[in-house]
Amino acid sequence: IFLTSLRITVTGKCLHHVDVLLALYRSTLTPKLPLIIIKKFFPILQWLPIYQLRQWLPGDIVSGITTGMVLHIFLAGLAYSLLVGVGPVYGLYAAFFPILIYFILGTSRHLSVGPFPVTCLMQGAVVLSLAPDELFMHPGNTTVNGTATLVLNVTQRDAYRLSIATTMTVLIGLFQFGMGVAQVGFLVRYLSDPLVGGFTTAAAFHVVVSQLKLIFNVPTGNYNGILSFFYTIGDIFKNIKQTNMVDLIAAVLTIIVVMGVKEFNAKFQHKLPVPIPVEVIVTIIDSGVSYAMDLSTNYGAGIVRTIPRGFIPPRPPDVSLFSSFGGPSFSTGVVSYAIAISVAKVYAAKHDLTVDGNQELIAFGISNIFCGCFSGFVATTALSRTAIQESTGGKTQVASIISALMVLIVIVALGPLLQPLQKSVLGAIVVSNLKGMFMQVHDVPILWRKNKTDCLIWVFTFIACIFLGLDVGLLTGVVIELATVVIRTQFPSCATLGNIPTTEIYKNMKDYKNITEFPGTKIFKCTAPIYFANIEFLKDQIKSKVGFDAVQVFKKRNKALKKIHRLLKNGKLKITENGLVPVGTLGVENEAFESEQDPKQVETKSQKGAANGTISAKDVEMQVDWSSSLPDGVTVPKVDIHSFVMDFTAVSFLDVMAAKSLKLVTLTFTNRRPDGRHQNISSTLHITDEIILKMESMGFFDEMVHRGMLFLTVHDAILYIKMETGSETADGSDTFAEKVGSIIQYNCTSVVTSTVKKVIFKLKMIKMCTEQQTIHET
């Protein structure tokens, strides 16, 4: 529509370009395009038409029943609702509705969708902080010492907590859907494995502490934020004398039985057709014992109580609450997506399938929006739940639908039978299934041996989540992770390269024994981006590697030149045709100056100029040999190199400040002056094409620092230096042809050669410039 309207407003040449765009636009409107778009948004249309009933359906049925019985109903549906702070029936809703949406919109065929303890705990922290018991205490009918006692209005509290939980679920879904539409699924890449490991391990400790009050059946405050972990532990120990022994014994027995059977399942998984549903067995036994002995009335045990049959009518979220938990909702949404996409990619790689990260965001976003409107809470997945679904034969999301049917049976028929179930047993089931998260502690020594920085990220994230809470701790972990990246780029690894004999390979001098460094040449390599934060460190490293400060050396050389000028004016030095000699020592060779002929020769124009007081700076500068001993009173630091090569092929980017500083470094080593003259340390660069283009856009190149100083490889730069200094290769062969070839590889349009070497030049151009630019000879 835009292009069509644009066509009306333009004329002339522009009209032709718009017609071309319209033609390209119409060419994309094939009859299959709408179907492609629909299939991309509804991935079920990609795999359901090719569903193999005989091969896939039996496995999906067994997997769905196993996952539904073992995990969805009793663990995810009931136990995790206690982490959120709502009734058990709402956990069943959270285990049912997200599956229906993900079945249609999800791209993973093996992911088992439902509640997860980490996200439930993050959501529960918000619910309990916004709806503590203190807000719902009302005066009762009884008095103590003339003061009316306060009574907790449980009905009002639970209703408000449910409103907060469902509204937050909808907001999480909106965040995820918006991120998916905006195609920003890459954000979870900033959650590295060490960071997620430290975060989930800390979350496991938080889950255990939150369930201890159910296991011991003791009252605790509703804490959230900094040090809430320790405040809850303090309340548990403060009220430890009020422990209900019936609940504690039931919880301990549940933990022992569940963990023991799970170990048995893991040990004999190849011999068992399906894992033993120990949670189902424990839950049925405890419900029967609690109902028969009336543990709630006779022993004061905490039980589930009300699980109504059927569904609650959908209701819209309370939009006025959005501002109360915007930040926690975003962090919870990111964490839930990061967990889900990491698990989905594991099984996609195993079965040679693909997972669309942005479509997964959309699928989970709509799932949570739908679930929140039907009184559920946030859904993601878990590795153990998905592992059972995949290992028991699940091939597609049909297995998830079958497990959802198991949840549906409990919602509409079996819910009231679970009302006598002890909450301590549910808490024990949650704790028993956290073993995998606690075992991540073993990653710490492994990370320490492999990469200490990743180990520190794990440890600091864990500590931050324990002390600051999960939401602030996660943000702290991300900051620490990014800080390590900045620090590692701020202090990059720099090295001096040497040549492996008889090869064109150049490696770090510290890593090899039999490696040589060319006399008078330093090869410097940087292996990190160069930007404003590390440019000063880079310049310090250059000084350290070459062994001197180029700025100070050339300052002293200039000062020495001025002193030599004064000696010439005072008649203490004379300029001969091939060098400078002190007056009174004619006929005696002075090592400080280059003089190969008899000093008694006839005076040149330079001598006459010196006698008249006018001395050419160029003549003086060209006659001084700075590597030899100098006249008395003239001191200059010795420099044992004549060429400096900078290898920046590992540099991925540089900013304006880095380009400016790099140019100053290059000018410093060449000691360029406004008139273009330079002293005797040449500087060459080995840089990637992308960095070259970036330099050009920043105005890096000019008459003093030009593209002729760049080379395709380090070896090309070394060949150029050998030719310029008149040296030969190790085997004594002429380096001119090699030099010509090295230049052509980089810029074959600017080669200048002599007619004497024209044949060699053309041969090298043919060999080295294949499929490159058109060659022009000057």
Q: What is the pLDDT of residues 548-584, one digit of tens each?
A: 887 778 778 778 788 777 777 777 776 665 556 666 5
How buried is residue 631: exposed, middle or buried, by Cβ count under 10 Å (0-12/13-18/19+)? middle
How far is the C-alpha of 64 from the C-alpha of 72, rounded, in Å? 10
pLDDT at 180 over 60: yes
How far is the C-alpha of 125 from the C-alpha of 331, rounded, in Å? 13
Amino acid residing at 201:
T
pLDDT of the residue at 222: 79
pLDDT of the residue at 444: 95
Q: Which fold has domain 494-548+641-710?
A: Transcription Regulator spoIIAA (3.30.750)
Q: Taking Cα atoms as reference points, which of 504, 501, 516 lies closest to residue 714? A: 504
- For the chain, give the percent of residues with pLDDT over 70: 77
Buried (b) or exposed (e) across 561-592, using 16+ Cβ within 10 A? beebeebbeeeebbbbbbbbbbeeeeeeebeb
Q: 192 with 477: CB under 8 angstroms?
A: no
**Residue position matching structure tokens 């190969």:** 596
pLDDT band of residue 592 (cuts 50, 70, 90) is very low
pLDDT at 407 over 70: yes
pLDDT of the residue at 146: 59
The predicted model gives 417-442 an average pLDDT of: 89
How far is the C-alpha of 701 from the C-alpha of 496, rounded, in Å? 25
Higher pLDDT, 280 or 626: 280
Containing 646, the helix (H) or strand (E) segment is: strand 643-648
How far is the C-alpha of 197 from the C-alpha of 340, rounded, in Å? 14
pLDDT at 398 over 90: yes
pLDDT of the residue at 436: 84
pLDDT of the residue at 108: 92
pLDDT tens digits for range 632-684:
667 777 777 888 899 988 888 888 998 888 888 888 877 644 344 444 466 66
Q: Taking Cα atoms as reference points, which of 91, 128, 109, 95 lies closest to residue 46? A: 109
In the chain, CATH 3.30.750.24 covers: 494-548+641-710
The predicted model gives 579-601 an average pLDDT of: 49
How far is the C-alpha of 532 from the C-alpha of 661, rounded, in Å? 9
The predicted model gives 156-169 an average pLDDT of: 94
pLDDT of the residue at 392: 79
How far is the C-alpha of 163 from the C-alpha of 148, rounded, in Å? 30
pLDDT of the residue at 306: 82
pLDDT at 443 over 80: yes
Q: Taking Cα atoms as reference points, which of 664, 721, 671, 678 lies closest to residue 553? A: 671
pLDDT at 750 over 60: no
How far is the C-alpha of 635 from the C-alpha of 96, rounded, in Å? 86
The predicted model gives 491-496 an average pLDDT of: 89
Name the phi and psi angles at 184, rounded to 5.
Answer: -115, 35
End-to-end CA distance of the chain: 54
Q: Based on DSSP, count helices (H) and strands (E) in the chain, helices before strands.
A: 33, 11
pLDDT tens digits for range 302-311:
998 888 888 8
The predicted model gives 108-131 an average pLDDT of: 90
pLDDT at 702 over 70: yes
pLDDT tens digits for range 330-374:
999 999 998 898 888 888 888 888 889 899 999 999 999 999 999
pLDDT of the residue at 523: 92
pLDDT of the residue at 147: 64
pLDDT of the residue at 23: 59
174 Cβ contact list (under 8 Å, min separation 6): 365, 369
Q: Strand, coil or helix: what is 543?
A: helix
Q: Which two tokens stand for residue 307?
A: 């699980």
Higher pLDDT, 462 or 620: 462
How buried is residue 463: exposed, middle or buried, by Cβ count under 10 Å (0-12/13-18/19+)? middle
How far is the C-alpha of 203 from the C-alpha of 425, rounded, in Å? 20
449 Cβ contact list (under 8 Å, min separation 6): none
Q: Taking Cα atoms as reference points, which of 235, 231, 246, 228 lies closest to residue 213? A: 235
How far is the C-alpha of 447 from the C-alpha of 453, rounded, in Å? 8
pLDDT tens digits for range 516-555:
888 889 999 998 889 998 899 998 998 888 888 877 787 7
pLDDT at 297 over 80: yes
- Per the prediction, the chain carries an average pLDDT of 79
Q: Which residues pair with 576 in a beta bridge?
A: 579
pLDDT tens digits for range 58-75:
889 988 887 876 555 556
Model-level pTM? 0.74
Q: 84 with 123: CB under 8 angstroms?
A: yes
- DSSP-derived letter for residue 143 is E
Q: Strand, coil or helix: what is 139?
A: strand
Lowest mean pLDDT among 96-100, 249-253, 561-565: 561-565
Torsion-angle region of 284 (φ positive above 0: left; ψ -120 to 50: alpha; else: beta): alpha
